[in-house]
Amino acid sequence: MTAPGIHLAAVPRGDGSFDITEDVVLRSEVALIRLQLPQSGTKLVGMMRPTKPIATSLKVTADDQPVPMETTKLAAARDLPLTVAATKLRLVYRLSGSTVRSLPSETGRASAAISPLTAGVDPTLPTNYQISGGSLLNAVCPEMTETRCAVGEPPGLGIQQGIPAGQSLTVLQLDLPMQP
């Protein structure tokens, strides 16, 4: 990635959590980033109850330098000072608590809310999602005027590219992979 934007790669797990990597290229250097979890509440179209997302095993690098953190768990929004003013960020973490199983339905069917932890750093950055593993059935972006943001047809369904970070909250409908 060389142009400004966010690339979020998410791999769903059988327990409803996601292994996520965010690669971010900013338009200008920053020394502090605001991290925030996907929103819960009425904007989550199709979800039957509120979610309580949490990010664990969080690792952050800024311009290829590891960022020391007091805790690798994110349960609420927080500001993270960087060790160097940076234009490139990488975040690796596990997102859990953002998935609601669809009952009654097929085994493994679920809805999940995801958005970049870095969406608040620059709400105009174009955001691109890559969901792999499991079966993506639909995607809705409740903060956009046209809320359906799925493109293509299953099994090759994807998510519209270039969604502004400030509107990048996405509710996925998917079949989770089977747990081992």
Q: Examine residue 171 and state whether it is found in any structural domain, yes or no.
A: yes
Contact status, residue 145 vs residue 49, Cβ threshold 8 Å: no
For residue 142, the tally of other CB atoms under 10 A from its CB is: 17
For residue range 142-173, what is the model confidence (pLDDT) as tens digits? Answer: 899 998 999 988 778 899 999 999 999 999 99
Segment 51-58 shows an average pLDDT of 94
Domain extent, residue 29, equals 5-175
Segment 84-94 shows an average pLDDT of 97
Q: Examine residue 137 and state whether it is found in any structural domain, yes or no.
A: yes
Contact status, residue 93 vs residue 59, Cβ threshold 8 Å: yes
pLDDT band per the 50, 70, 90 thresholds, residue 139: very high
Q: Examine residue 154 and state whether it is found in any structural domain, yes or no.
A: yes
Q: Examine residue 113 and state whether it is found in any structural domain, yes or no.
A: yes
Q: Examine residue 155 and state whether it is found in any structural domain, yes or no.
A: yes
With tokens 């039957």, the residue in question is 48
Which amino acid makes up residue 174? L
Contact status, residue 6 vs residue 118, Cβ threshold 8 Å: yes
In total, how many domains does the chain have?
A: 1
Q: Is the pLDDT of residue 90 over 70?
A: yes
Q: Examine residue 180 and state whether it is found in any structural domain, yes or no.
A: no
The CATH number of the domain where 161 resides is what? 2.60.40
Q: Examine residue 14 and state whether it is found in any structural domain, yes or no.
A: yes
Q: Report the relative pairing of strands 150-151 and 135-140 from DSSP bridges.
A: unpaired
* Whole-prediction pTM: 0.91
Q: Examine residue 29 and state whether it is found in any structural domain, yes or no.
A: yes
